[in-house]
């Protein structure tokens, strides 16, 4: 063994040991706080996103991060459809449980009623007589019910879809898990996605209540702070994570968003703590960005790239963090095919330190906040972990079930990668 190789391996062992001294109880505190009822799912509902942003700002201040702007915030606005009032759904005499048995579709308008059920006969796709009979139905005072597995056929038959959307209420039955999302518009009447195994057979009447409000020009913010580099401070490495999630489904039910993306924010805050320590001050300036409005279309990160607070050409590399709470099966790197040299550095670090079971390669994708930076020519990776819990965009994505299987290892991978680049 050469002296150089022995030295490198010794440094690697020390780095790994430092990784495992990481403060996991503090990480759990971040997760529990970001996923608490007081954050209301970190959306526009009850201004939960602002509460989360203020928490992150406070943590930045505690760590001594400098602010590019006086209050760490870069403000922007967007429209969003919100459900923060009354919500209920009853099939005959069975009251369904919000968030478990059903959710409101993100494009839904508000409304209420107690109406007869009308099931879509699937023969409408094959028999003109049945089709014409359905199209002649008066659906405006009915709860129209159909199975989501026929949705692709409905798209091909726009006249059927239009008739469904006239319904007083729409019930879309799902075999698989209920996955929520956000919308910037209200498109149709009260529209519920319902777990098929929770919905009784041959329902006669549907009683429902839904309060929906389209918030116009909702004010949100990116939270941005930095650690100035020691020798190459005019070059920037960005470490980012989105802090927003899906908000609430009514007054009491909310989406905690533990893996998506309290885990990424917790990693961001741990890296803030690390790089804020004098002995870990980097050569390059590191800018930490907690983006808002990712879940509704990468709005916060897009706003930054269109209104940058420093020249984008100063960015040497961007590392975007999302879904970091597992890792049983390793990690995926989006944009790995665009930057093979940097990807190979990750593989070398991982092989030396034996951190993750696999680091998988993926090409470009518009699936998180790295995307608009990459489109502007900024070299960027998006890291997300694999395996473990399957909760995603539902009320089951809770901090107490998040295993943090490879959280320390990913932390070590990131800090060593920053040294390499």
pLDDT of residue 70: 84
Residue 241's Cβ-count burial label (10 Å; 0-12, 13-18, 19+) is: buried
Residue segments in the chain with a per-residue pLDDT below the cut of 70? 1-21
Where in 177-302 does DSSP place strands (E)? 191-195, 205-210, 213-227, 232-242, 248-249, 253-254, 284-291
DSSP codes joined into one string, 107-142: TBPPEEEEEEEEEPPGGGGT-HHHHHHHHTS-GGGE
On whether the CB atoms of residues 321 and 383 are closer than 8 A, the answer is yes
Tokens coding 259: 């893996």
DSSP codes joined into one string, 266-304: HHHHHHHHHHHSGGG--SEEEEEEEES--TTTSHHHHHH
pLDDT of residue 232: 82
pLDDT of residue 17: 41
pLDDT of residue 154: 93
Residue 302's Cβ-count burial label (10 Å; 0-12, 13-18, 19+) is: buried
CA 382, 387, 392, 396: dihedral to nearest 10 degrees?
-140
């Amino acid at each position: 063994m050469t002296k150089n190789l022995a030295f490198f391996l010794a440094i690697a062992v020390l780095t790994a040991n430092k990784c495992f001294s990481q403060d996991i109880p503090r990480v759990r505190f971040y997760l529990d706080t970001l996923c608490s009822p007081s954050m209301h799912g970190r959306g526009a509902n009850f201004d939960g996103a602002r509460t989360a942003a203020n928490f992150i700002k406070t943590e930045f201040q505690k760590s001594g991060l400098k602010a590019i702007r006086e209050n760490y915030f870069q403000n922007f606005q967007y429209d969003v459809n919100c459900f923060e009032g009354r919500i209920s759904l009853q099939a005959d005499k069975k009251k369904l449980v919000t968030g478990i048995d059903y959710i409101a579709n993100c494009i839904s308008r508000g409304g209420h009623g107690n109406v007869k059920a009308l099931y879509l006969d699937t023969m409408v796709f094959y028999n003109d007589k049945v089709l014409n009979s359905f199209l002649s139905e008066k659906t405006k005072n009915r709860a129209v019910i159909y199975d989501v597995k026929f949705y692709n056929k409905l798209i091909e038959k726009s006249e059927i879809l239009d008739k469904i959307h006239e319904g007083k209420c729409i019930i879309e039955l799902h075999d698989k898990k209920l996955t929520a999302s956000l919308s910037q518009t209200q498109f149709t009447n009260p529209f519920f996605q319902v777990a098929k195994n929770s919905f009784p057979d041959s329902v006669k009447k549907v009683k429902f209540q839904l309060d929906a409000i389209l918030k116009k020009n909702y004010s949100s913010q990116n939270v941005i702070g930095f650690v100035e580099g020691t020798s190459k401070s005019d070059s920037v490495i960005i470490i980012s994570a989105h802090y927003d999630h899906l908000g609430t489904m009514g007054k009491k039910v909310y989406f905690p968003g533990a893996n998506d993306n309290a885990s990424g924010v917790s990693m961001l805050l741990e890296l803030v703590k690390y790089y804020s320590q004098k002995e870990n001050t980097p050569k390059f300036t590191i800018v930490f960005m907690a983006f808002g409005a990712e879940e509704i279309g990468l709005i916060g990160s897009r706003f930054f790239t269109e209104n940058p607070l420093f020249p984008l050409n100063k960015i040497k590399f961007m590392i975007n963090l999302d879904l970091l709470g597992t890792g049983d099966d390793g990690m995926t790197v989006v944009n790995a095919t665009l930057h093979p040299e940097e990807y190979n550095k990750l593989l070398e670090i991982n092989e030396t330190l034996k951190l993750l079971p696999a680091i998988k390669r993926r090409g470009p994708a518009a699936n998180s906040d790295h995307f608009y930076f990459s489109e502007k020519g900024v070299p960027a990776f998006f890291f997300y972990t694999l395996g473990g819990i399957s909760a995603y965009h539902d009320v089951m994505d809770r901090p107490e079930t998040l295993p943090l299987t490879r959280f320390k290892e990913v932390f070590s991978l990131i800090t060593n990668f920053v040294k390499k680049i």
